[in-house]
Amino acid sequence: MNGATLRRLGVLGGITLLATTIGLLGYWRSESIVRLSQERSRQALLRGLSIALVDPLISEDLAGLESRLKQAMADPNLHGLEVRNRQGQTLAHLERPSPGAPPTTVIGAPAASEPGLIELKSTIKAGGPVGSLAMTRWSTPVEQLLLELRLQILLISLMAALVCGAAVWLVALGLQARNRQQRLALEQENQSLQQDALVDPLTGLANRRHLEQRLEQHLSAMQRGTISALALCLLDLDGFKPINDAFGHDAGDHLLQEVGKRLQTALRQSDLVARLGGDEFVLVLTSTTSTQRVERLLNRLTDRIRQPVIFRDTTVSVTASFGCALLQPEAAPRGKAELPSVAQLLRCADQAMYDAKHHGRDSWRIVTAPCSSSGGEVGLPASQHAVLGREQEGEQKQPRLHQHDAAGR
C-alpha cells in the first residue's frame, strides 16, 4: 500500500467522520429544540387546564368537569384526560380511540395504557391539593419524524463508524507495513554498510579493519585457551608495479583479483585472507599452525601464485614473497608467554617478508612471534636457488610477461 493510497484512505475516513459528527450534532440540536418546545406546550396546557378545573372540582360539579375536559380534548393528539378528587376517586375521564376521533366518556376502570403514549400528571391546588389531573397523548407528527430520523441516523452513524474504523484500520496496516519495509530497508542498508566497511572493494576479501578485528578475537581466544596457536602470513607480490606500468591498472586489478582467488581457494574455511592494500595480502591461519604444515602450505601458495594469469590477449605472471609469524604461547619458556599485540604481529610478519625478499624473492620466511630482527627459517622454491646469488648481488628480478600473437589465439 503506497503513500497516496494511505492519504486517500485517511481523507475518506476524516470526511466520513466529520460529516457524521456534523449530522449527529445537527440532529441532536434539532431534536432538543423540538422536544423542549413540545414539552413546554404540554406543560402550559396542563397548568391551564388544572386552573380551570379548580372550581368544578371543589364543588364536585361533574358536568362542569366533563365540559372543560371536552374543550381541552379539541387537541386531536390528546388521548385522554382524567380528573380525581383528593381521595383518589375518578370524577371524570375522557378518552379517544385514535388521533382525531371524538372523545368518549370512560366508565369503570380505564383501558390498559397503549405503548408509545406520553403521560403527564399534575396536582390541582387551591391553597392546598384538591385533586389531580392525568393527561395522555400521542406523539406529534414532528416527534414521530424525529423518532424515525433517530433510527435512520443511528443506522447511518453505525455505517459511518464502520467506514471510519475500516479506513483507520487500513491506514494503520499500511503504516505498519510501510514502517516494516522502511525498517527492513534500513537494516539491510546497515548490514550492507557494515559489510562494505569490512570488505576490500576490489577483491571481495577482508580489509585491514576486518583483519584487525579477527586478530583481536583470536588473541582473546588464545588468552581464554580456546585457541592454542596462530600463524600470521604477510605476502607481497614481486614486481607488480611493472605490470601496472606496462599494461595499465585494469591488468593490475585483474591480477590482484586472481591472486586473491588463488589464496582463498587454497585455505580452509576457518582461515582468513585479507588485502591490506596495494599488492599486499595477509593470511590468518588457525587450522595450520605447526612449522611443517605452514612450510607445506607456503610451498603450495608460491607455486599457485607463480602460475600465469591471462588478461585479454596478454599472459602475465608474478611471484610472491611471504613472511610468517607463528604464535605458540604453549611452546614459549615459562614466564615468557605474554601475547603480542595485533600491531606487533603484523610488524613481525612484515619484517619476515622483507627478509624473504632480501634473500631472493619468490620465497618465504617463518619466524616465531614475538620476533627479533634476526633468526627464523627461510624457504626457497627449487627454481630460485639458481638466481639467489645474483639477487643478493643486487640484481632485481623482473616479472615474466608473455604476449600472445594473433596466430596463437
SS (H, E, C) 244-310: HHHHCHHHHHHHHHHHHHHHHHHCCCCCEEEEEECCEEEEEECCCCCHHHHHHHHHHHHHHHHCCEE
If asked whether residues 285 and 137 sit together in one domain, one would say no
If asked whether residues 125 and 20 sit together in one domain, one would say yes
In a domain, residue 199? The reply is no
If asked whether residues 96 and 23 sit together in one domain, one would say yes
Q: Report which of 167, 181, 192, 237 is spatially closest to residue 400, judged by C-alpha positions.
A: 237
Which of 89, 120, 143 terminates a domain? The answer is: 143
Compute the mean pLDDT over every residue in the chain, rounded to the nearest whole number.
79
Confidence of residue 155 (pLDDT cuts 50, 70, 90): confident
pLDDT at position 44 is 81
Q: Report which of 369, 360, 345 is spatially closest to residue 215, judged by C-alpha positions.
A: 345
pLDDT in tens, 316-344: 999 999 999 999 876 554 444 688 999 99
Range of the domain at 26: 3-143
Q: Report which of 390, 15, 400 is spatially closest to residue 238, judged by C-alpha positions.
A: 400
Beta bridge partners of 72: none
Residue 51: phi, psi to the nearest 5?
Answer: -65, -40
Cα dihedral 187→193→198→202 (10° resolution): 130
Q: Does the model's pTM come out above 0.95?
A: no
Residue 72 reports pLDDT greater than 60 = yes
Quick one: angle between helices 342-358 and 208-224, nearest 10? 110
If asked whether residues 121 and 255 sit together in one domain, one would say no
Instruction: Indicate which CATH number applies to the domain containing 44.
Output: 3.30.450
Written as nine digits, the cell of 42 is 404540554
Q: How many domains does the chain have?
A: 2
Residue 7 reports pLDDT greater than 70 = no
pLDDT at position 111 is 53
Confidence of residue 400 (pLDDT cuts 50, 70, 90): very low
pLDDT at position 345 is 94
Residue 354 reports pLDDT greater than 50 = yes
Cα dihedral 241→392→322→290 (10° resolution): 170
If asked whether residues 126 and 222 sit together in one domain, one would say no
The phi-psi region of residue 206 (left if phi > 0; otherwise alpha if psi is between -120 and 50; otherwise beta) is beta
pLDDT at position 92 is 87
If asked whether residues 139 and 219 sit together in one domain, one would say no
Average pLDDT over residues 275-285: 96
Confidence of residue 5 (pLDDT cuts 50, 70, 90): low
If asked whether residues 138 and 214 sit together in one domain, one would say no
Q: DSSP state, 100? A: T
> How many residues are present in the chain?
409
If asked whether residues 328 and 404 sit together in one domain, one would say yes
